[in-house]
Amino acid sequence: MASSLTVALVPSNSYLFPIVGLCLTLLVWRFWRFVIRPRLYPHDPKELPYWIPIVGHAAAFFNNSYVLLRNGDKYFRGSKESYAVEVMGQTIYVVTSARDSAEIYKNTTTMSFEIFVRKFIRSCGASDELLDRLYGAPPSSGDIESRSLGDKTHDFHGMQLFPGGHLPEFTAIFKDFLEDAVRMDRLPGKRYITASGDGWVNVKLLKLVSDYFVDAGQRTYFGKRLGEIDPDLVWTFLELEDRSWQILYEIPAPFARKAHAARDGIIDAIQKWFETPRENRPDGSWWMTTMETEMKALGFNTREMATTVVPIYIGSNTSTRKACFWLLAFLLFNPQLIDIVREETRPAFGNGPVDLEYLKNNCPKLNAIWMETLRMATSAASFRFLTEDTMVGSKMLRKGNRVLVPSRQLHYDPDAFGDDVQAFNPDRFLTGNKLTMGRNWKPFGGGKNQCPGRFVAQQQTFLFVALLLNRFDIEMLPGQKFPRWAEGDPFPGMMPTKNGDDLTVRLTERKEA
């Protein structure tokens, strides 16, 4: 009886041997992969070790990529050498050195950004056939006319948004809108008001900022007509923004119904805009008019035209509103700065329109707060695809893999920004432009793909903050904590708040304004 019980409790060799064999195989594989192989290929970036072949760090990367990269920095003891992470069979080189990142941004021959642009456009609803038509004309020379529309789109955007081009007409639209809209008598009926009284309202700050900035973004590109076609389009976009990762990762519609419905709702509205005769939408931007002409020349129908430009609608409304919210949050938690910024910006307010040039050029404290906000709140990362083996620094990055330059790691480098990088300290930017000219400063990416909207983002934010502080007294309702960073959430651009964190503030009309 006892011998029978013993036999029953001892695992059969048919189970034990495969388990032992699997464990030994895994140990041998790890020894080869992370000990022997690095010695045979010393110029290849070392890999962050993992246990499951092919899968690698997939769970950590998609769950909280920031923590994964932070753990990678710790594992390699802050060496600032490029290292590799494996994600579902794809090798991603993580570049943590500012010097190496500068090489990445300068490289336009053996590294490509187009694959990621195409993926983003596809996630916004474009078919492979539409993408082929958009990028199908290979360049025959350096002349812009010989390039595909996909390539020219970025150039057109620069012409619209860079100083010296069509930026003034762009600026005039959002300036007129915000000056008229940021007033107490425009607030009644807004869905983010939680309470109101004689001369005051309590509002959800992030929702208020988002409402103004997305509406302004619509108007600058499409004029007033798009908002007339769909008066709730701002909130449709915000519905999409909350779930944008589902679109970026191309989650099928049955598992991401709200995200797909919101995206398609935006495309529907823009399609109706294109179907409206031009004479009934005369205030569209130069960029939109130029793109429409180019797309018609290629035979695009109105649905294809809407799908092609919807990435601009999404991209232009994603980050600036968050940056403005974070800036205001820092002011509210450092209330001594509110009066400082109010007094600094007051001279821009006279009897006529607000002097935007004054805000841009004569408000060093506001500018420093803006820079510190960008440093702390940027979550953007730049990707490149390697088309050839490329030596970057002391490491060989292999063809067919991806390169990741995480801006957040660069912005929290104590060697560049000081030992207090975890603290909000705008004074660090009051000592000239040394920090913003350095290699670690990448809130808008770098190289030829640097975000062209950076000038508009600053101007919109400065104007909105100046209007808000000079027309209202603003105070935070008691008992609130600083909104949490959504560090690990897969959102592009500026950091969102964690789980929709917001601040409830009281706005009281300033009579002298």
Residues at the binding site for heme are 451
Token pair of 364 as six digits: 């060093």
Q: For residue 99, give Cα distances in angstroms to 9, 14, 106, 405.
A: 61, 55, 11, 11
Q: What is the DSSP secondary structure assignment for residue 278, as one 8-state letter?
A: G
* Nearest-angstrom CA–CA distance, 218 and 177: 11
Distance of CA 300 to the CA centre of its chain: 29
Residues annotated within a binding site: 451
* Nearest-angstrom CA–CA distance, 284 and 303: 18
Token pair of 230 as six digits: 């769909």
With beta carbons less than 8 A apart as the criterion, state whether 273 and 207 touch. no
Q: Sheet containing 402-406: which strands, arranged edge to edge?
A: 46-47, 83-87, 90-94, 402-406, 381-386, 111-112
* Nearest-angstrom CA–CA distance, 105 and 243: 29
* Nearest-angstrom CA–CA distance, 127 and 122: 6
- CA geometry: angle at 242 spanning 239 and 244, to 5°? 100
Task: Label residue 437 exposed, middle or buried (CB < 10 Å: 0-12, 13-18, 19+).
Answer: exposed
Token pair of 302 as six digits: 């109105």
Q: Mind giving me the DSSP string for 362-412?
A: S-HHHHHHHHHHHHHHB--EEEEEESS-EEETTEEEPTT-EEEEEHHHHHT
> E-strand spans in 95-216?
111-112, 193-197, 200-204
**With b meaning 16 or more CB within 10 Å and e meaning fewer, what string describes 343-369?**
ebbeebbeeeebbbebbbeebebbbbb
The torsion region of residue 393 among left (phi > 0), alpha (psi -120 to 50) and beta comes to left
Q: Determine the 3-state secondary structure of 418 from DSSP.
A: coil
Strands 111-112 and 381-386: antiparallel
